Structure 1
Amino acid sequence: MEKILIIDDEAAICSSLTFALEDKYAVKSTTDPLQAVMWAKEERFDLCLLDLKIGNVSGIEILMELKGIQEDLIVIIMTAYGTIASSIEAIKKGAYSYLTKPLNKEGLYSIVEQALKFQKLNRQVEYLSQELEKKYNYKGIIGKSPLMKNVFTLIEKLKDVETNVVISGESGTGKELVARAIHFSGKRKKEPFVAVNCAAIPENLLESELFGFKKGAFTGAAGDQMGKFQYANNGTIFLDEVGDMPMALQAKLLRVLQLKQVTPLGSNHPIELNIRVIAATNKDLKKAVEAESFRQDLYFRLNVVEISIPPLREKPQDLPLLFQHFIQSYNKELNKKIKGLSEEAQNCLLQYHYPGNIRELANILEYAMLMTEEPYIQLGNLPLELQKKSSAVFAYNQNPVDSLVGLTLDEMEKLLIEATLKKNEGQRKKTAQMLGISERGLRNKISKYKIDK
């Protein structure tokens, strides 16, 4: 049975409302707002009927206090005809609706029933959202697409073995998250996980950063320093962007991996290592080997197993889950209460191709949540560049010729290819024929424009 709290400074109204509702609901009523707040702290109510003015106390203040105690409490404001404007202000502060006095019994029953149904639906949505988050969240990695399920399967197979792993993928796809999932779900999880970005450290410092040095090893070496390999001993070292490592240092890294020992700069005493190496790259290492910018022997030493992380544009099924995940995450971080995306905002985000992948999506949603004070993110809250792209797609669909004015040739070509693919239900051969180009040419343009088809 749902529980209803009634707060009104007229005892007669409290009594009449209690009498009207107690056959169907568990009802508590009081003329004292402080008593009501105390009850709300002690037990959970489903709905509150709250007078807009309780003696000298503002109903809006009580509303905000009650919502602070129980966020999903449904509050219906009761007000006289002359204060409807104040009731609307209360709705902006979180009230569900308002009733005008004198109260109509049928209207009361109707709005209470409607409000409780709304709350039940909201609670179900919240529960299902949490269940979906659990179901499709693997060690902090969100995804339900077949491509991501394959990644999860590989993590499970690799977590408790000593095999070296290379994680490949575009920037922003979450390569370090995968590396951390392998480490923290495996037998080394209680040991150190040390991440090194090989592209972010200057070439002349990277060697000492990795292997450490002894006092006096070079000018400025005022004392001994442990390298990252030593810090990671017994655990995992994650070499991010390993494809950017200088060739001379690649040879030294190979020796460390072969001998399973590291010698700090300026020392003659090697240190034994019990370490797992996970590397990551946004480059094609096979092509780097062919171009002689990456050592073949190091490639084979590192790349026993490769995990390829798909770009976001190749797994559109994961987008709604990621929207939900980041909104929930930023709600906590930014102290917001955003419920989701408007239809227009969601359609815009679903159409975008995300060259920066998950990192870019996270930035877009953080920006949008900073820009909105409403329960749902609107199209106008998204970055201007996304709004322009969304408007261009909409305009093209409505009036293809006029909408092309102002676009670059590349943008027009991309829209034309997307529209033709859609018309042909993704059939590339038919699309190529209609566009008057070869299938290979179409394939190259789809790759160039990162068209999700």
Structure 2
Amino acid sequence: MNRSSGRRTRLETRLNALQTPLFLIDAARVILFFNQGCECIVEWPAEEILGQTCDYAVDTDPEECESVCNLLCPPPEVFEGTRSEVPRYLLTRSGKTIPCVIRYTPLLDDQNRTRLVLGTIDPIDEPHKLRSATASQQLHAELAALRLSLRNRFRFSTVIARNPAMQRVLRQLELASHTREPVHFQGEVGTGKEHLARALHFESEQRRKIFVPLNCKKLPPRELKQTVKKVFEKDLDESMPLEPGVLFLDEVDHLSRDIQEIILENYQTKSQAQTVRLMTACSTPLNELFEQEQLLPEFFFLISTLQIQVPALRERREDLDLLAQHFLENENRYQQKQVSGFAPGVLSLFHDYFWPANLDELAQVIQSAFQSTPETLITRDSLPLRLLTGMDARSLGPALPPLIKPLEQTLQEVEKDQIQQALEQTKHNRTEAARLLGLTRAKLYRRIEALGIPLDPDA
């Protein structure tokens, strides 16, 4: 026993000393082995990695151990016994991005169940173009590449933006992160305005203070007014134990004038460094609200200093696949079940849909499909009925416009139909039919003859 134990120890020591990056993950996705080659490539010591559970999700914070662990996680199909060669971007502790391919080998027990997964890391040039990778693995790599690129360029890695309009949004967020001026987000319901406001807050100097979101439409006016006062007066209690840094007012078109005056008073009597930063959002353009006198002139000028137009999802087709993968990987976090991507045809269905509720609807569809699927991929059968019904309704197209006939022809058809109904109702008693139609008997005869209505010879 001692000799066998000693051999295992020597083997582990030799594997640990290799410069070839090797790691082991068990069936519960816990990292059990992480050699010196891995330590060198990601710049994290094994002591901080071992024992961590990894999820199949992209993270881009180099200061978080969880980010490195998740980027090492095998696709779910590997745990079902499939060898896989996966393109990846690894993030080092110093913030560098390393393109690589990770080769996963499932290690099976005597009942062909995966007990361990062996991973080896090889740096390469462009992992998202690896031919052996599946479509879902390529999309996972593209999502990582985009998020890491956005983190380096704009510091906003949680915002998926390949679309030119969204790239412009990121440039505006970057500018806004260096000031404390009010910011207004303009866009349809569900386009992610609050998420953008939070991303801006957490990349600003105010990040250590709390973000206070209030919905001006949903909150009762009295409660909304009291909360706004508390935020600006920094009257902290159990409901708000930390100092507020940002007040985010969603659906600001429902904000009453007296609350607008409270906000104006605080901005007029305090310096910019002393007051809470104001962020607002709504779907109606501010100019329209101003013209309709829903906003006080001073309040309009205050919140319209920096306006960010957020595009609808149907205008962001370049981002749709990556957004779907992003929402799916968010569902993987801290779950025993892991889903790697989408079966063939599912993403094309998404492109055919209009997405009237934008990102909120996409996130709900992905969440529902994740809960429904028994597979490692989202299939059409796992998609919620409301999405398929909506797609079927759109495939029918709009109703055909009514056929326009000449007016004279239409009037004759209506008159003929009314006379025939009157004759049938009176059993062809022409005197009674004329009375029902408000005509004289002679005029009824003339109209019957003119319209060519056949008469019952026995009547």
TM-score (norm 1): 0.55
Residue of structure 2 equivalent to 1:278: 279
Matched, 1:135 2:136: no
Contact 1:368–1:377 (CA under 8 A) maintained in structure 2: yes
The CA deviation at 1:381 is: 1.1
Partner residue in 2 for 1:237:
247
Contact 1:195 1:237 in 2 (8 A): yes
Q: 1:304 to 1:122 in 2, by over 3 A?
A: closer
Deviation at 1:180, TM superposition (A): 1.7
Whether 1:386 aligns to 2:396 is no
In 1: Cα distance, 2:180 partner to 2:225 partner: 24
Verify: 1:161 aligned to 2:179, yes or no: yes
How far apart, in 2, do the equivalents of 1:129 and 1:158 lie?
25
* Structure 1 residue 162: Cα displacement: 2.3
Q: 1:123 to 1:365 in 2, by over 3 A?
A: closer
* Alpha-carbon distance between aligned partners in 1 of 2:294 and 2:341, rounded to the nearest angstrom: 46
Whether contact under 8 Å (1:211, 1:229) holds in the other structure is no
Kept in 2: contact 1:167–1:280 (CA 8 A)? yes
Residue in structure 2 matched with residue 148 of structure 1 by the alignment: 166
Write the mapping of 1:346-385 to structure 2, written as runs, cut at 5 A: 346-385=347-386
How do 1:403-442 and structure 2 match up within 5 A? 404=396, 411-412=398-399
Match of 2:193 in 1: 175
Q: Give the 3 Å change call, closer, same or farther, for CA 211–68 of structure 1 in structure 2.
A: farther
CA distance in 2 between counterparts of 1:189 and 1:320 reads 30
Q: 2:269 aligns with which of 259, 281, 286?
A: 259
Aligned-pair CA distance for 1:306: 0.3
Shift of 1:144: 0.8
Distance 1:78 1:326 in 2: 34
CA distance in 1, matches of 2:341, 2:400: 33
Give yes or no for the alignment of 1:246 onto 2:256: yes
Q: What displacement does 1:239 show?
A: 2.0
Amino acid at match of 1:274: T
TM-superposed deviation, 1:182 = 1.9
Given the alignment of the two structures, is residue 203 of structure 1 paired with residue 213 of structure 2, yes or no?
A: no
Return closer, same or farther for 1:71/1:226 CA change in 2, 3 Å cut-off. farther
Residues 1:314 and 1:124: Cα distance change in structure 2 (over 3 Å): closer
Contact between 2:251 and 2:282, CA under 8 Å: does it hold in 1?
Answer: yes
Task: List aligned pairs for 1:70-81, cutoff 5 A.
Answer: 73-75=104-106
Structure of larger gyration radius: 2
CA offsets 1:402-424 (integer angstroms, 9 cap, x no match):
xx5xx7xxx4469xxxxxxxxxx
| Contact preservation (8 Å) 1:230, 1:273 | no
Cα deviation, residue 334, structure 1? 3.8
Equivalences for 1:5-24 in 2 at 5 Å?
none
CA distance in 2, matches of 1:225, 1:125: 45
For these two proteins, the number of residue pairs brought into alignment is 293
What CA distance in whole angstroms lies between the structure 2 residues aligned with 1:230 and 1:300?
A: 32
Match of residue 444 from structure 1: none
Cα distance 1:161–1:231, how it changes in 2: closer, same or farther (>3 A)?
Answer: same
Cα RMSD (Å)? 4.2
Q: Is the 8 A contact 2:183 2:306 kept in 1?
A: yes
Structure 1 pair 130–294 and aligned structure 2 pair: CA distance change class (3 A): same
Structure-2 change in CA distance of 1:78 and 1:94 (3 Å): closer
Q: Paired residue for 1:335? A: 336
Over residues 170-209 of structure 1, what are the superposed CA-to-partner deviations in whole Å (9 max), with x where a residue is unaligned? Answer: 1211111211222221222223332222222201222211
Percent same amino acid among aligned pairs?
Answer: 25
Aligned position for 2:206: 188
Aligned amino acid, residue 160 of structure 1: H
**Alignment partner, residue 311 of structure 2:** 310
CA distance in 2, matches of 1:330, 1:240: 26
Contact 1:193 1:232 in 2 (8 A): no
- Offset of residue 166 of structure 1: 1.0
| Deviation for aligned residue 1:366 | 0.6
Offset at 1:287? 1.0
Is the alpha carbon distance of 1:388 and 1:118 closer, same or farther for their aligned partners in structure 2, counting shifts above 3 Å? same
Q: CA deviation at 1:164?
A: 1.5
Residues 165 and 311, structure 2, Cα contact 8 Å, conserved in 1: yes
Offset, 1:376: 1.7
- Deviations 1:140-175 (Å, cap 9, x if unpaired)? 111210011000000111111122111111121111
In 2, Cα distance between equivalents of 1:183 and 1:380: 39
Distance 1:157 1:413, change over 3 A: farther
Cα offset, 1:236, TM superposition = 2.2
Please tell me the residue identity of whatever aligns with 1:131: A
For 1:286, give the aligned amino acid.
Answer: N
Q: Which has the higher helix share?
A: 1
Separation (CA, whole Å) in 1 of partners of 2:303 and 2:216: 15
Partner of 2:289: 288
Higher relative contact order (CA 8 A, sep 6+): 2
The 1:70/1:186 distance shift into structure 2, 3 A limit, reads farther
Post-superposition Cα deviations, 1:27-70, rounded to whole Å, max 9, x if no partner, equal xxxxxxxxxxxxx95579xxxxxxxxxxxxxxxxxxx9x94999
User: Structure 1: which 5+ residue stretches go unaligned?
Assistant: 1-25, 27-39, 45-63, 80-85, 97-116, 214-223, 262-271, 397-403, 415-453
Match runs of 1:76-155 below 5 Å: 126-136=140-150, 138-155=156-173
Question: Which amino acid in 1 is paired with 2:144?
Answer: Q
Partner Cα distance (1:175, 1:275) in 2:
19
1:212·1:228 contact (CA, 8 Å) conserved in 2? no
TM-score by length of 2: 0.54
Give, in whole Å, the separation in 2 of the partners of 1:348 and 1:392.
Answer: 13
Give the whole-Å Cα distance in 1 for the aligned partners of 2:342 and 2:400: 30
Counterpart CA distance in 1 for 2:328 and 2:356 is 20
How much does 1:134 deviate?
A: 2.3
Distance in 2 (CA, whole Å) between partners of 1:385 and 1:292 is 39
DSSP-derived class of the 2:326 partner: helix
